[in-house]
Amino acid sequence: MTDPDTLSALNAKLDSLLSLLERAVPPVPKVPDFTAADAFVWWPNPGELHPVARVNRVDLALLCAVTRLKEILLDNTRRFAKGLPANNALLWGARGMGKSSLVKAVHAAVNASLDSPTLKLVEIHREDIDTLPALMMQIRDAEARFIIFCDDLSFDHDDTSYKSLKAVLEGGIEGRPDNVIFYATSNRRHLLPRDMIENERSTAINPAEAVEEKVSLSDRFGLWLGFHKCSQDDYLEMVRAYADHYALIIEPARLRAEALEWATTRGSRSGRVAFQFIQDLAGRLEKTL
């Protein structure tokens, strides 16, 4: 018979071996329940889609000064939701002009127009782009249709993850699944810093080919929607729309004067600045949004 001390030592070694095996072999990812929500966040570790019960977004009608861009993205998304051909979209340009807000608002508007909300919004963070293939595996065979959304997408020096994104968007052997479309926002039109592109041009043996490799990522997006800085009239239109929507009672002349003063202290005019002013105004008026 084996003495108790020997058995205890053996059990300890087996427990240690099992612990090592569990760490070496990743757990089987859960099968997503796509009926749990209309929006999800991708968690690459442990490879799960986390449902979002309440999406942080504004109504599509409140996005002023981007009427034509709204129409284009809304039409593209409606076609995709119906199973018709549609393009990946890159929303680029000035900060705070509603790029990410437009994506979320369009998703809600299209879902509201469907008999059942079968269009899902999946957010993937910039630093997790290289896990896109794993995400695609989880949604490729689902009945729902998916907008993969990456906010503030850009790439810095020595960052090669853009190559995996290129393959996923178009060019990989499997290609983009029919039930997936990719929407991204960025402050950069070509997603790469200008000095990075210029450096490639100046140091490469064939400058044209080197630059082409860097900027070809943005070519994978069929839609380029440019957001430009807004005028004073556009800014005031945004402020008035928010004030009316939230029923903030204030004299028009006072609203205009305070909104302009707020923009002056911030040194910029944008949809984000307009909403920040409205938050301040609502607080002073003791109103909830």
Note down pLDDT in tens along the chain; length 289 residues.
556 667 677 777 777 776 766 665 555 556 678 888 999 999 998 889 999 989 999 999 999 889 999 999 999 999 999 999 999 999 998 888 999 999 999 999 999 998 877 899 999 998 898 888 889 889 988 999 999 999 988 776 666 666 667 777 765 666 778 899 999 998 877 666 555 554 554 554 445 555 555 566 777 888 999 998 889 999 999 999 999 999 999 999 999 999 999 999 999 999 999 999 999 999 999 999 8
Which pLDDT does position 265 carry in this prediction? Answer: 94
**Does pTM surpass 0.75?**
yes
If phi > 0 it is left, if psi is from -120 to 50 it is alpha, else beta; for residue 162 that is alpha
Q: Are 110 and 74 in contact (CB under 8 A)?
A: yes
Q: Which of 56, 34, 51 is nearest to 101 (CA)?
A: 56
Which pLDDT does position 215 carry in this prediction? Answer: 61
Q: Are 44 and 29 in contact (CB under 8 A)?
A: no
The order of strands in the sheet holding 119-123 is 48-52, 39-43, 119-123, 145-150, 180-186, 89-93, 223-227
For helices 271-284 and 252-266, the axis angle rounded to 10 degrees is 120
The label of the residue with tokens 């001390």 reads: 5
Q: Which of 252, 257, 256, 249 is nearest to 284 (CA)?
A: 249
Q: Are 107 and 147 in contact (CB under 8 A)?
A: yes
Cα distances from 220 to residues 71, 88, 89, in angstroms, run 21, 7, 9
Number of residues that this document lists for the chain: 289
277: its two tokens: 């002013």
172: its two tokens: 């990989």
Is residue 150 classed as helix, strand or coil in its secondary structure?
A: strand
d(CA 231, CA 160): 37
Parallel/antiparallel/unpaired status of strands 223-227 and 119-123:
unpaired
Q: Are 95 and 119 in contact (CB under 8 A)?
A: no
